[in-house]
Structure 1
Amino acid sequence: MSILRPKLRALEIIVIQDERHGRALMLRDTEGIAPSAVIIPAASSAVLARFDGRRSLDEIARDASRATGERVDANQVARLADELERAWMLDSPRFHARRRSVVRSFDEAPIRTAAHAGGAYHGDRARLADFIERQCLAVARPQGGAARGATAKGAAPRMVGLCAPHMDLWRAAVGYGHAYAALEQALATPELQAIDTFVLLGTSHAAMRRPFAVCEKTFETPLGPLDPEREMITELADASRFDVRAEQYLHKNEHSVEFQAVFVRHLLGDRAAAIVPILCGLSDCQVRRRDPAQDDDAESFLTALGEALARRRGRVLVIAGADLAHVGPRFGDPSPLDARQRRALRERDHASIERATSIDPPGFFADVAQDLGTRRVCGLGPIYTLLRALPPSSRGELLHYDQCIDPEEGSIVSHTSLGFYV
């Protein structure tokens, strides 16, 4: 099966400690074509970095030997290439055939199944509902039933948007609790009784060629389904300069929207509502550090979204599933952050949060883009899109901030919960 000039696909690669290999690299296909991750020794990184589709096996072995100062055998390179080809991790005719089949199957299916149920959260309905109630909402519900932001002279402001984490529920339970306890409270007010649609914005952890991807499928959750709001999706499709459904298959394995759907379904109970699931890649704007307002395709969608929301004012609430920083050895940094560096990260994250709560889309984009390569904020797309979608009179409120620190090697994922009100 040897691939003569192996080319590695665009994959998520993280550094882990493995029982067999010690320090190792985990290769994960966020696109969902490969059924499972692959773990290889970290010492293979010099070989892996040269799987660019241009070099032969002998050339890879020679160049890796020069780079490491240690002899790398061409047979060793061939074995790694074969392993990755069998696992669908290489960009090859075999992979593309499988990809076409997976995409076709997903496109033809009416339901987007709960890909992470039983892993990132309970797959059992009763256990999941109990976890959300006890571990998430209970720790964040306001005491005494006071409405958030209410004063002695006036009613609480009306919620129009929300930002919540998109980490697994086990690690970010408190963050989810603060976000969705605020939404729970808002949904109980007379001002939000007309809400019948939730726009769910998420990060695509797989590479996107277009700025946005809408999924027109029913989202399955252990707590019950959520149907798409087809009329609104059609409006977005008709007004955008690109095909908003062309990359809907990227929703197949993406968790950032799925986790928000789980919480929305829990809070709704028997209340009817529909969703508009959107992955926000912002095309090449993030890579080029260019405000999406300057990109014709992205701006056409953002304008269409704003107009669709304006036509449904009072009936739609927008939710962004977005984490902040990803730093430490797991993400390629040489060492974990010490206490001083964690404080600096907190200050840096709060500077970005302040831009968001000030409803400053271009300021938020520029602030996050300046250190995107080192802080690795993966929520830039959905938070920027949320800010663009909010009414001009909105104001933001910081509900919660946390840094989830890996207990074994110290890597950090930070996240925030934000409420937006008018």
Structure 2
Amino acid sequence: MSNTNPHPRPTRWPWLAAAHEGGQLWLYDPRRIGSPVAVSRAELEAVQLFTSRLTVPEIHSTLAAKFGPTFLGLPALTALVTKLDESFLLDGPAFREYLAGPVRRPSCVGCYPPEPEAIHAQMRGLFTGPGGPGPVGDRRTDGPRLRAVLVPHMDYARGNVTYGWGFKELAERTDARLFVIVATSHYSPARFSLTRMNFATPLGTVETDQAYVDRILQSYGSGLFDDPFAHLPEHSVELEVVVLQHLFPDRPFRIVPLLVGSFGDCVSSLTPPDRVGQIQRMVAALQAAEAAAGEPVCYVISGDLAHIGPKFDDPEPVREPLLGESRKQDEAILAKLNAADGEGYFNVIAAEGDARRICGLPPTCLTLATARPTAGRVLHYQQFVHPQGHESVSFAAAAFYE
């Protein structure tokens, strides 16, 4: 049996968790790489032993010695291993095949519905909801060329019309079919993470421009694929892809998905990011890749502003005057975005030691240094506040022009 089992020594992800819901015990992946699986108490006991040390028969013998020979049969244990493998809850053959494959599966279904028509209805609300910019109009050719937009990556329910303000400007101001999505990295310690995977959602599959990725890699050098997990659970690219798919159902487009990790070293040393060697290399690589593209390129900055409150380990619930003080600090940041002043934007955040956790700092600084816009415009701003003061997250939409 152990010779035919695809997992002679099954290995669960160490971060897996279990919870009761709807009268059922579920094993799930908080990082959203794998899909939840309903398990019994006996199966959950078995999963504790999936640590790569024991074969399936050895796990069976261990359980039988501890709980009795009828606790969990060998066929049931083998079936459990297969079920968890197929759900990507094990570091096994199915997951490794997926990791080496060409398509990233969506990880954010639930933030948006699984049915295409329901997604489109939700997306329309980002533009037409209260305070929204209204439906997208015809392409506009007046004014300077759009270089980049800043949009949230909050869930759509809370980010709502702020998404619409940023993406309406994108849809009306650029004819680009190539979007470099520069996004906050929430799960990886790597400074920069690229992927060659195409992005699948219920609205279809969006192609990642392989030649563009090659050019970045050629200019930057190695290290951009060091964390193969970085993009799999990440929402900050996927949520922008879905809006683009809604906007351009008949306009084929490609993306370049780049995750940007912490610039905490820049903040602590008060060093503007574009003066740090590794970041300078990425700026140069992105500029070289765009210069060789032979077509218009538009940057999409995926980033939010402040994260405050007990959810983020602050001691006090979020309420006035804390909210007003945070809003005032946000206004100082937004003033720099209005001026397309990337260094000034960084300096405002660094001066407060990034105490409010501005997650959009890395992608915004990198993109402004790369695209070198001469003008900016803040289009919309919001502060989400949890009803019990557990958290507040602020976010904005902005546009940057040549």
**Per the shorter chain, which TM-score range?**
0.7 to 0.9
Q: Using a 3 Å threshold, how does the CA distance of structure 1 residues 271 and 164 change in structure 2: closer, same or farther?
A: same
TM-score w.r.t. the length of structure 2 is: 0.74
Per the TM alignment, residue 206 of structure 1 is displaced from its structure 2 partner at its CA by: 1.1
Confirm or deny that 1:120 pairs with 2:111: yes
Residue 230 of structure 1 corresponds to 210
Residue 251 of structure 1 corresponds to 231
Confirm or deny that 1:378 pairs with 2:354: no
Question: Over residues 221-280 of structure 1, what are the superposed CA-to-partner deviations in whole Å (9 max), with x where a residue is unaligned?
Answer: 222211011111000011113321222421001001110001111111111111000001
Residue 138 of structure 1 corresponds to 128
CA contact (8 A) 1:358 1:396 kept: yes
SS in 1 for 2:149: strand
Per the TM alignment, residue 105 of structure 1 is displaced from its structure 2 partner at its CA by: 3.8
CA distance in 1, matches of 2:371, 2:226: 26
Alignment partner for residue 279 of structure 1, among 237, 249, 259? 259
Residue 347 of structure 1 corresponds to 328
CA distance in 2, matches of 1:365, 1:397: 17
CA contact (8 A) 1:121 1:170 kept: no
Per the TM alignment, residue 174 of structure 1 is displaced from its structure 2 partner at its CA by: 1.3
CA distance in 2, matches of 1:293, 1:104: 36
> 1:7-156 alignment to 2 at 5 Å?
29-30=30-31, 32=32, 86=48, 104-117=96-109, 119-133=110-124, 135-139=125-129, 140-141=132-133, 155-156=142-143
SS in 2 for 1:249: coil
Q: Using a 3 Å threshold, how does the CA distance of structure 1 residues 406 and 286 change in structure 2: closer, same or farther?
A: farther
CA distance in 1, matches of 2:347, 2:29: 29
Count of paired positions: 335
Residue 161 of structure 2 corresponds to 174
CA contact (8 A) 2:274 2:366 kept: no
Per the TM alignment, residue 391 of structure 1 is displaced from its structure 2 partner at its CA by: 3.2
Confirm or deny that 1:334 pairs with 2:315: yes
Q: Which runs of 5+ in 1 are unaligned?
A: 1-8, 12-17, 21-26, 37-81, 187-191
Q: Using a 3 Å threshold, how does the CA distance of structure 1 residues 235 and 100 change in structure 2: closer, same or farther?
A: farther
Equivalent position amino acid for 1:129 in 2: H
Equivalent position amino acid for 1:113 in 2: R
Equivalent position amino acid for 2:157 in 1: W
Per the TM alignment, residue 386 of structure 1 is displaced from its structure 2 partner at its CA by: 1.6
Per the TM alignment, residue 357 of structure 1 is displaced from its structure 2 partner at its CA by: 3.0
Confirm or deny that 1:411 pairs with 2:402: no
Question: Over residues 1-44 of structure 1, what are the superposed CA-to-partner deviations in whole Å (9 max), with x where a residue is unaligned?
Answer: xxxxxxxx998xxxxxx999xxxxxx9854x56767xxxxxxxx
Q: Using a 3 Å threshold, how does the CA distance of structure 1 residues 286 and 254 change in structure 2: closer, same or farther?
A: farther
CA distance in 2, matches of 1:147, 1:273: 16
Question: Over residues 185-241 of structure 1, what are the superposed CA-to-partner deviations in whole Å (9 max), with x where a residue is unaligned?
Answer: 22xxxxx33x120001111111323x2111111101222211011111000011113
Residue 305 of structure 2 corresponds to 324
CA distance in 2, matches of 1:123, 1:421: 35
